[in-house]
Structure 1
Amino acid sequence: MATLPPLAERLRPRSLDDYIGQDHLVGPNAVLRSAIENDNIPSMILWGPPGVGKTTLAHIIAETLKRPFFNLSAINAGVKDIRDVIEKAKAIRIAQTEQPILFIDEIHRFSKSQQDSLLGAVESGLVTLIGATTENPSFEVISALLSRCQVYILKHIEERDLIHLLNTAIEKDESLRNKKIAIKEYDALLRISGGDARKLLNLLELVSNADDARAYPIDNALVLKLVQQNLAFYDKSGEQHYDIISAFIKSIRGSDPNAAVYWLARMIEGGEDPKFIARRLLILASEDIGNANPNALLLANNCFQAVSVIGWPESRIILSQTVTYLASCEKSNASYEAINKAQALVRQTGDLPVPLHLRNAPTKLMKNIGYGKDYQYSHAYEGNFVVQEFMPEKIANTKLYEPSTNPSENKLREKLKKNWKGKYNY
């Protein structure tokens, strides 16, 4: 009996009507759907987490527009591969009018020289570029290429859509339909897959192959049991990458340098991009350490700069120093919580007016109506501080930053308490 393709491949949507999620891009009258239906798509970068349909969307675009389609993966393609595709695209354009689509998966892994080699073909319209990335393209795609592309952000797939995907698989896939399986509980399937549709379907296929799944409805206990038994098989397509980075970050947040450096070693031995690791450390230094130790962010930034110019194996030493330091630091998420509260307050209260005394007054009219009047210049007062109101009147006295309990932020708390004398209740 011939081996079947993976379930995720068997169920890959072939049209926009079958595509799950991303309604803000490809739903009725959405911007990208309109561009596709009008056969007027720009070169684009599809940015989003794994398993949300970036590759599938690229295939659907090419199929819908009946365009020649070239597919490269930045993991194993080089400049020569890019040039070969460009030569083929030239031959196609000479023979016919259709503009080929060049899809590059994980485009963030391309070096500057590799990205530079795409510029001419994209700028001249020889190809329409579709790049897929899980990383912020502002940091990973060169500005010259990024300026010639539209960036579309793909979101995590909603739970209801993931459940619909599971039920559709059971109903429409011939192999699953013949097994007559049923799902009693969805929680474990959804939690382990982490919103990754491809991972979810791989997990369903793994579970459906078990004898227990044919005898009983699939529940949470069965899923957890089978995943533990088949962990290596389950991670065969690389999903473990995201589990390991999660364990790595949580170990540093939990102040365990031993576990943190172990997970670092797992990523190093797996050939992970050092800049990917360093970028996560930058985020963590601010989110989880913050003002408990401001030097953490400085070290993480220096680490990122260093590994950007130093490759393996030397980068591992710099990463290890940074990881063990960050894991050993005092922890605080106070600044992270403060911006979350502030954004929630802005969404709740809207565009509150800036107090008149804080407004700039570049014209005589503005001065006459009170812009800047009564503003007190802090440096003109003892200790470079004077009590005055900086918040919009409607939310005056709202406290958003609450220093954590650690030596560094305890000093900040005392300073704030001394300055504001009970205004913010520090």
Structure 2
Amino acid sequence: MHNEPLAYKMRPRNLDEIVGQKHVIGPDTPLYHMIQKGHVPSMLLYGPPGIGKTSIANAIAGTSSLPFFALNATHAGKKDIEQIVMEARMAGKVLLFLDEIHRFNKLQQDTLLPHVENGSIVLLGATTENPFHDVNPAIRSRCGEIVQLARLTIEDIIELLNNALTNKERGLGSYTIQVTTEQLTRIAEAAGGDARKALTLLESVYYASDEVDGVTVFSDTAIDALAKRIGVYGDKGGSHFYNLLSALQKSVRGSDVNAALYYLAHLLESGDLVAVCRRLLVMAYEDIGLANPAVGAHVTAATDAAIRLGMPEARIPLATAVVEMCLSDKSNSAYKALDAAIRMINEGKTGDIPNHLKDAHYAGASSLGHKGYLYPHDTPVGTFGGWVDQQYLPDELAGTEFYQPVIAGEEKRMAGIYERLKSFKNKN
């Protein structure tokens, strides 16, 4: 037991020892009062690694009088579930913590669900994935609470570190340690809101530091060197990764260069370069669009270069592309117009193609009425090229406007042409 990691030994034993997450299970929350009174509802604990899902489950178990069992869905089998069911029948009610619940297969669910439904098994499920995307609806419907946990704040992490430094029974309190407030803050910042990383880093720094006259003196060099090794929570392909992609796009759309570069950095550290490049290409056309059509070509070139270069050099063209998109004029008019047309078609608002637009490149086309098309290039209009007043939409949709120009950047000029051509049509 002495070889257990500090992060394991410092897990809270009851609700009052939980650090952080006060918004969901603090002393003033309904959930806290329910559990203190002996009522534990089935719930899903959702959030990134290291923010307290397992700790909260253990704290609930320590506060509750129910028999407690823990399983991991990645390797639990039907026999494990059947054993829990037998325990529930004998005890009347048990508390089951199921980590990685999104990996539960149908057979395991079918074995467990009736007992969760009748209350003999109180289920505490933990997942790093969005439960609305990755947890079976049958499980979700039987969990009264979906508890979204947040990354711990710097203050939370420092409180956790101080607890570990002073706790003689489970922490480092029996050792004499010299550590400054600035050093604890550096450890907390390096952990990135992850309690497990913070405690692991604290323990590593303790063993890496020199002892002087019986006092372990934490060194800045050890903290800096070890902090670089704790890594970034990337969750490639998971909910957090897609949240990062969403945050990147919304930051570019909002023209916030610094936020966009931050999310780009996080995504590149997560390791899925192809997914990042695909999202940047979409953004060039979805968010910049006609306001600056050249951006599409620029981003295509940047993403092609990034794929060829690979990391870490790929970050250079991608950073250029992101800054350019942030500071570019923006328009979503083109794809919004197309979506409006698609919506109309799906609603059944269609019509026949006008005869003069139908294919006439074969003998007999004129006998079918496929004639009367006027070739616009034969009628020049200033420097525009050519234009004639003829109907292109089906009769049922004549006059419908899908495109609503955005007066921004290059599209301002296009909008002027659009309105000018409409005025010609209205005159005729």
Q: So what's the TM-score if we normalise by structure 2?
A: 0.58
Distance 1:145 1:45 in 2: 9
Does the CA contact (< 8 Å) of 1:52 and 1:197 recur in 2? yes
Distance 1:128 1:415 in 2: 62
Distance 2:36 2:417 in 1: 63
Distance 2:18 2:205 in 1: 24
RMSD: 4.6
Equivalent in the alignment of 1:297: none
Q: After superposition, where does 1:382-401 map in structure 2 within 5 Å? A: 383-385=401-403
Gaps of 5+ in 2: 246-259, 287-305, 329-396, 421-428
Query: Do residues 115 (structure 1) and 109 (structure 2) align?
Result: yes
Equivalent in the alignment of 1:319: none
Measured at CA, do residues 118 and 417 of structure 1 come closer, stay the same or move farther in structure 2, by a change above 3 Å?
farther
Measured at CA, do residues 417 and 77 of structure 1 come closer, stay the same or move farther in structure 2, by a change above 3 Å?
farther
Overall identity of the aligned pairs, in %: 32
2:19 partner SS: coil
Distance 2:77 2:322 in 1: 43
Does the CA contact (< 8 Å) of 1:105 and 1:132 recur in 2? yes
Per-residue CA deviation, residues 45-79 of structure 1 (Å, 9 max, x unaligned), is 01112111111111121221211011001122122
Does the CA contact (< 8 Å) of 2:187 and 2:227 recur in 1? no
Distance 1:144 1:188 in 2: 44
Equivalent in the alignment of 1:292: 284
Q: 193, 204, 207: which one pairs with 2:205?
A: 207
Q: 102, 117, 142: which one pairs with 1:148?
A: 142
Equivalent in the alignment of 2:42: 43
Q: After superposition, where does 1:333-352 map in structure 2 within 5 Å? A: none
1:63 partner SS: helix
Give the letter aligned to residue 284 of structure 2: A
Equivalent in the alignment of 1:100: 94
Measured at CA, do residues 29 and 176 of structure 1 come closer, stay the same or move farther in structure 2, by a change above 3 Å?
closer
Return the offset for 1:129: 0.4
Equivalent in the alignment of 2:194: 196
Does the CA contact (< 8 Å) of 2:73 and 2:100 recur in 1? yes
Return the offset for 1:146: 0.5
Measured at CA, do residues 244 and 124 of structure 1 come closer, stay the same or move farther in structure 2, by a change above 3 Å?
closer
Does the CA contact (< 8 Å) of 1:244 and 1:263 recur in 2? no
Return the offset for 1:88: 2.2
Equivalent in the alignment of 2:84: 85
Give the letter aligned to residue 292 of structure 1: A
Equivalent in the alignment of 1:347: none
Does the CA contact (< 8 Å) of 2:50 and 2:195 recur in 1? yes
Gaps of 5+ in 1: 94-98, 235-239, 265-276, 295-322, 339-378, 388-400, 404-409, 422-426
Equivalent in the alignment of 2:294: none
Query: Which structure features the higher share of helix residues?
Result: 1
Does the CA contact (< 8 Å) of 2:232 and 2:269 recur in 1? no
Return the offset for 1:153: 1.0
Distance 2:130 2:152 in 1: 19
Return the offset for 1:158: 1.5
Distance 1:124 1:224 in 2: 52
Return the offset for 1:383: 4.8
Return the offset for 1:161: 1.2
Equivalent in the alignment of 1:17: 16
Return the offset for 1:138: 0.6
Query: Do residues 182 (structure 1) and 176 (structure 2) align?
Result: no
Measured at CA, do residues 210 and 135 of structure 1 come closer, stay the same or move farther in structure 2, by a change above 3 Å?
same
Return the offset for 1:381: 5.1
Measured at CA, do residues 113 and 221 of structure 1 come closer, stay the same or move farther in structure 2, by a change above 3 Å?
same
Measured at CA, do residues 49 and 186 of structure 1 come closer, stay the same or move farther in structure 2, by a change above 3 Å?
same
1:116 partner SS: helix
Q: Which moved more, 1:131-140 or 1:173-182?
A: 173-182
Does the CA contact (< 8 Å) of 2:14 and 2:61 recur in 1? no
Does the CA contact (< 8 Å) of 2:95 and 2:123 recur in 1? yes
Does the CA contact (< 8 Å) of 2:10 and 2:164 recur in 1? yes
Q: So what's the TM-score if we normalise by structure 1?
A: 0.58
Equivalent in the alignment of 2:133: 139
- Paired positions, count: 300
Distance 2:61 2:192 in 1: 28
Measured at CA, do residues 56 and 18 of structure 1 come closer, stay the same or move farther in structure 2, by a change above 3 Å?
same
Q: After superposition, where does 1:343-382 map in structure 2 within 5 Å? A: none
Return the offset for 1:188: 3.5
Measured at CA, do residues 176 and 225 of structure 1 come closer, stay the same or move farther in structure 2, by a change above 3 Å?
farther
Query: Do residues 164 (structure 1) and 159 (structure 2) align?
Result: yes
1:186 partner SS: helix
Does the CA contact (< 8 Å) of 1:103 and 1:131 recur in 2? yes
Q: After superposition, where does 1:307-318 map in structure 2 within 5 Å? A: none
Measured at CA, do residues 140 and 293 of structure 1 come closer, stay the same or move farther in structure 2, by a change above 3 Å?
same
Distance 2:164 2:209 in 1: 19
1:125 partner SS: coil
Give the letter aligned to residue 194 of structure 1: G
Give the letter aligned to residue 291 of structure 1: M
Equivalent in the alignment of 2:124: 130
Give the letter aligned to residue 283 of structure 2: N
Measured at CA, do residues 385 and 75 of structure 1 come closer, stay the same or move farther in structure 2, by a change above 3 Å?
closer
Equivalent in the alignment of 1:224: 224
Return the offset for 1:151: 0.5
Higher-Rg member (1/2)? 2
Distance 2:56 2:142 in 1: 20
Return the offset for 1:175: 3.6
2:49 partner SS: coil
Distance 2:402 2:89 in 1: 66
Does the CA contact (< 8 Å) of 2:102 and 2:127 recur in 1? yes
Does the CA contact (< 8 Å) of 2:21 and 2:152 recur in 1? yes
Give the letter aligned to residue 218 of structure 1: F
Measured at CA, do residues 412 and 169 of structure 1 come closer, stay the same or move farther in structure 2, by a change above 3 Å?
farther
